[in-house]
Amino acid sequence: MSAPGRKESKLNQQRQPNEAPRVLVAQPDPQGGPDRLRGWALRHKIELDVRPGDHPDLPSNLDGYAGLIVLGGHMGDRDTAKYPWLQRLRELLHDARSRELPALGICLGAQLMASAFGGRVERGDLGFEAGVVMIRREEEAEFDPIFGRLPELMYSGAMHGDAITTLPKDAVLLATGEQYPHQAFRVGSCWGVQFHPEVSPAQYEKWVESLCAEDPANAESYRESIPEFQLLDDKIARGCAELAGNFFQLLGQHDIAKVGLPSRCRAPGPE
C-alpha cells in the first residue's frame, strides 16, 4: 500500500522478474544525446528508453519506468512559449518526485527541475560557462547516496549560458563551482546537475563547433577548451562514471526520497 499523498507506481506490475530496470530519457536537443550514459547504463544492466523531448510519443507519466533522466539542450528554461513541450518535462519531473522515483536532470534538465520545484533560472551574470569545470562537494552531501560517495573534487564538461540563481526552498545544495555556485542539488528523489557528466570529448568538440558557428566572435576562446577536455578526460570519465553508477544503483530501491538528507530536510511522516 502506498503512503498517503504518494502516487501508486505501476512499475512492479509491469516489469517481469529479472527484467532490466527501464529509465525514461527525455532528450530535448538532437545534438544532446545520452553519449557516455549508454555505456555506463549497459555496465549496470539498465535499459535506457531515449525519447525526443518534443515528440508526441513522449510518455505523459512514468508508469513502467524505474527512473527518469532529462538531458540538456540549446533552449532555455524560460523558452516555454517557443517550446511548449518543456512544460511536459517539468510534469515528468513532478511525477518522479511524487512517486519517489530517482530522477536526474542534466544542464537544461537541472534548470527545468529547479523551476518546476519553485527555484529560479536566469541568464548567467558571470557569462557563458564552457569547458572543463571543477566540482566541489558540499558538506551537506556527505551522506547523499549519489554525491556522498564521490571525491571531494571532480571534473566534468560544461556548456551553458543560463544559470540557476535560486534553488527550490526544500533543495539541498550538493556541489558548487568556481563560476556558478549551484552545480548540483537535490529535491527529494530528484537530483540536478548544471554540468554535463555524460559528454565525451568527441561530443563536446561537436558542441563547440556549433557554438562557434553561432558566435564566431568568441570562436577562438571556445576552441581553446577542447585540448583541456582531452587532457583531463581520464579524470572526467572516472568521476562522472561513478556519479552515473551511483544514480543507477538507486533504481528499484524504496524510500530514497529522504535517504542521506540533512536533518533539517527530513520532514516527519509521509510527504
Task: Look up 198 and say whether it is catalytic.
Answer: yes
Task: Look up 240 and say whether it is catalytic.
Answer: no
Helix (H) or strand (E) holding 120: strand 120-123
Task: Look up 107 and say whether it is catalytic.
Answer: yes
Q: How far apart are CA 84 and CA 32, in angstroms?
A: 19
Q: What is the DSSP letter of 139?
A: G
**Which among 74, 138, 198, 240 is annotated as catalytic?**
198
**Which among 107, 160, 182, 190 is annotated as catalytic?**
107
Given a contact cutoff of 8 angstroms between Cβ atoms, the answer to whether 136 and 176 are in contact is: yes
**Which among 74, 160, 182, 196 is annotated as catalytic?**
196
Q: Which three cell numbers stand for residue 125?
A: 551574470
Q: Percentages helix, strand, coil for the chain, rounded to the nearest 5? A: 35, 20, 45
User: What would you measure as the largest C-alpha separation in the chain, in angstroms?
Assistant: 59
What per-residue string of b and e applies to 64-103 under the rule 16 or more CB within 10 Å gives b? Answer: bbbbbbbbbbbbbbeebeebeebebbbebbbbbbbbbbbb
Given a contact cutoff of 8 angstroms between Cβ atoms, the answer to whether 37 and 198 are in contact is: yes
Catalytic residues, by residue number, are 107, 196, 198
